[in-house]
Amino acid sequence: MDGPTKEERLAHDTMQREERPERMPKYPEHVDGRAFWYPEHDDLIEKMMDIVAGNIENSRECQHGREILDDVIADLKQYRGTLATPEQYHEKGLL
């Protein structure tokens, strides 16, 4: 078997989390009158999955898949508008 064991990977991941500085803003940063959130990677992925799944589950019986797709895209764009850009994450050393 090549590579680290499951236990070694878990220990490494735990160590990285513990060493990572707590720089993730807890509240939105305001720039030019707009608020930008900086959710962590896993939280962002979970929110995106919730948006997609919620649209499908709530609409699958009453809308065509193409209409649902438009709703998913619109909701994801709206959510994206509340988030800091990749450049803003990078400037804060969060990427």
- pLDDT tens, 61-88? 999 999 999 999 999 999 999 999 999 9
Strands (E), the chain: 29-31, 34-36
What confidence category does residue 17 fall into, taking pLDDT thresholds of 50, 70 and 90?
Answer: low
The whole-angstrom distance between residue 53's C-alpha and the CA centroid of its chain comes to 15
Neighbouring-strand partners of residue 33: none
Is the pLDDT score of 16 beyond 60? no
Give the whole-angstrom CA distance, residue 64 versus residue 55: 12
- The residues, ordered by sequence, that sit 6+ positions from 36 with a Cβ below 8 Å of its Cβ are 28, 29, 30, 82, 83, 84, 85, 88
3 Cβ contact partners less than 8 Å away, ≥ 6 residues apart: none
pLDDT tens for each residue of 21-77: 455 666 788 888 888 999 999 999 999 999 999 999 999 999 999 999 999 999 999
What's the predicted TM-score (pTM) here?
A: 0.69
Task: Write the DSSP symbol of residue 32.
Answer: T
